[in-house]
Chains A and B, each alone.
Chain A
Amino acid sequence: MILLVEYNDFFVSGLAMLGAGIAMIGGLGSGIGQGIAAGKAVEAVGRQPEATGRITTTMLVGQAMAETTGLYSLIIAFVLIFTT
């Protein structure tokens, strides 16, 4: 059986949507990284409650850094959706 595919605009945009969905798998890594950072921050607060403010600031900055890779995949997904 031969599968006949018509290469038209709908095919291209469908594959672009699929690619956008696959690109967002990259959000997995940044999510895990942020979770690890938050868990370690909770441990640190439990061990040293008087340094809560500085630990929270450091955790937020580190999480915003870890978010970068997830944001790259988000930008790629947006490019795939809106330019095709």
Chain B
Amino acid sequence: MTLSPNMFTSLLVIILLIILLPIAGRKVEKMDPGQPIKGPIFLVIMMIDGLNSFIRQFYGRHWKTFSPILITVLLYLALANTSALFGLNNPLANINIALGFSILAFLIVQISGLIVRTPIKRIKDLMSPSPFLFPLNLISEISTTTAMGLRLFGNLLSGSVVTVLFLGLLPGFVSVIPLTFVAHPIFNIGFGLIQAFVYFMLLTVFVSMAIQTEDA
């Protein structure tokens, strides 16, 4: 059994995150509050703080429960979508990994909805305008999360197809010019980071809609 190149990149990104993030966390823990913050750790703190304040707008008092998994998904997607810059195969251009993200989003939304809102209230939410709409609401729960994974897949696959098109059509080193000025900035950095943020934001919104607490 061989590992597909997309899966290999995915595992590489996961290992990188597993190694890097605890180091950053340990550095923040050991920090002296009297000293000014310097270096790359400052960027990390700024980013996490901004994301936390973004999540807090949606969740109210539940934000500490949900911010770790949401930020983890965002970090993984941001690294995975820009991995083509380092000559690796893009993990999300493989439909199995993209649909895995659909399943992940579906499970996060449903399980957090069931735990925070208790099953009876959750079913009442699904029957909200009238009981006849219950099957349609169920379909919308499934289709929105499936669309999230398919959106990632389509964007990343179209990026790799255009990149391969440039490589195949142009002779030799001429293909370096469109790759440098068109393919990498637009498809890998631009669309990759935008899609990572869009997935993160949609997940945030759907989970906050599923748990809709009164005080939030």
Contacts and interface: CB of A to CB of B under 8 A. Distances in A.
Interface of A: 60-61, 64-65, 67-68, 71-72, 74-75, 78
Contact of A61 (B150, B157, B198): B198
Interface of B: 147, 150-151, 153-155, 157-158, 194-195, 197-198, 201
A67 B202 CA distance: 14
A61 B193 CA distance: 11
B51 to A, nearest CB: 13
A72 B197 contact: no
Contacts, number: 33
A60 B194 contact: yes
Decide if the interface of chain B is mainly helix, strand, loop or mixed.
helix
A72 B198 contact: no
Q: Considering residues B153, B154, B194, B201, which has the most beta carbons from chain A within 10 angstroms of its beta carbon?
A: B154
Contacts of A60: 194, 197-198
A75 B194 contact: no
Contact of A75 (B153, B195, B201): B153
Nearest to B198: A64
A67 B197 contact: no
A7 to B, nearest CB: 30
B198 A75 contact: no
A72 B150 contact: yes
Given A60-B198, A64-B198, A68-B154, 10 more contacts: A60-B194, A61-B198, A64-B194, A64-B195, A65-B198, A67-B151, A71-B151, A71-B154, A71-B158, A72-B150
